[in-house]
């Protein structure tokens, strides 16, 4: 009986136009949509982070401690984002993350947070896949994923301190990773032994162990600014 009823009413639904339904009594559901406009006169900083990139880099045989090809791929994706969003005034990247700074008075998507966040993250992620073969020599085994967050900074000093924070984080991480892989690759230590060695040492000792840390690739230790 149910199947017969469905078959009987199907032709009727074929004559209903969706455009008319959109302006019908059902349109009230739009009231449930949240108003998510970002605060005026604030710096908008959108930071993208790779999701599960420790596993991703292992599966795709990234060079340790820094894979310059992978870093250049990230820079290419950032450049693509900047080309599409001309209200981005500065971008800074390190490892598997990138920060994009929008003009304080940006009107991008009428400052709607969801629109800005989803479009930038989507473009960056799709660009990572699109440009993969241009930079990487291995096959892309599975789709990469990036998450994103937006933070508002009310003053210029807050913004400068944010960028300084990311730069300091880049230096600290690169120093640790360079020391770690030096101990593993040439020191004969296991990853666990190298981790324990670094845990009980200090930065100055690490700097001595790494042998000329200051001469490591500037791309890895400073990463990239794009304006």
Confirm whether residue 53 is marked as ligand binding. Answer: yes
Token pair listed for 127: 């660009």
Confirm whether residue 79 is marked as ligand binding. Answer: no
145 within 8 A of 125, measured Cβ to Cβ = yes
45 within 8 A of 159, measured Cβ to Cβ = yes
Confirm whether residue 62 is marked as ligand binding. Answer: no
Neighbours of 101 (CB within 10 A): 22
Confirm whether residue 105 is marked as ligand binding. Answer: no
Distance of CA 34 to the CA centre of its chain: 25
The three state secondary structure string of 76-127 is HHHHHHHHHCCCEEEEEEECCEEEEEECCCCCHHHHEHHHHHHHHHHHHHHH
Integer angstrom CA distances of residue 206 from 6, 107, 177, 195, 216: 73, 46, 10, 12, 14
Confirm whether residue 49 is marked as ligand binding. Answer: yes
Confirm whether residue 36 is marked as ligand binding. Answer: no
Token pair listed for 176: 């640790």
Integer angstrom CA distances of residue 129 from 70, 104, 123, 170: 12, 31, 10, 24
Binding site members for Mg(2+): 49-50, 96
Binding site members: 49-54, 95-96
Binding site members for GTP: 49-54, 95-96
């Amino acid at each position: 009986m149910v199947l017969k009823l469905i078959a009987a009413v199907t032709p009727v639904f074929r004559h209903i136009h969706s455009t008319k339904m959109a302006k019908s009594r059902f349109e009230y559901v739009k009231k449930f949509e949240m108003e998510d406009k970002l605060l005026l006169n604030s710096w908008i900083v959108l930071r993208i982070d790779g999701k599960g990139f420790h596993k991703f880099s292992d599966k795709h045989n990234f060079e340790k401690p820094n894979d310059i090809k992978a870093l250049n791929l990230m820079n290419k994706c950032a450049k693509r984002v900047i080309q599409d969003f001309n209200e981005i005034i500065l971008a800074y990247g390190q490892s598997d993350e990138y920060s994009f700074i929008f003009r304080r008075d940006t009107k991008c998507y009428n400052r709607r947070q969801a629109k800005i966040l989803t479009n930038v993250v989507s473009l960056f992620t799709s660009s990572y896949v699109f440009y993969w073969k241009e930079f990487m020599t291995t096959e892309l085994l599975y789709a990469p994923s990036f998450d994103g967050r937006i933070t508002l900074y009310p003053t210029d000093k807050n913004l400068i301190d944010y960028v300084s924070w990311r730069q300091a984080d880049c230096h600290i991480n690169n120093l640790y990773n360079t020391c770690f892989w030096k101990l593993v690759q040439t020191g004969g230590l296991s990853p666990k032994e190298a981790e324990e060695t670094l845990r009980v040492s200090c930065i100055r000792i690490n700097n001595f162990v790494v042998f000329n840390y200051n001469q490591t690739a500037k791309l890895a230790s400073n990463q990239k600014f794009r304006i």
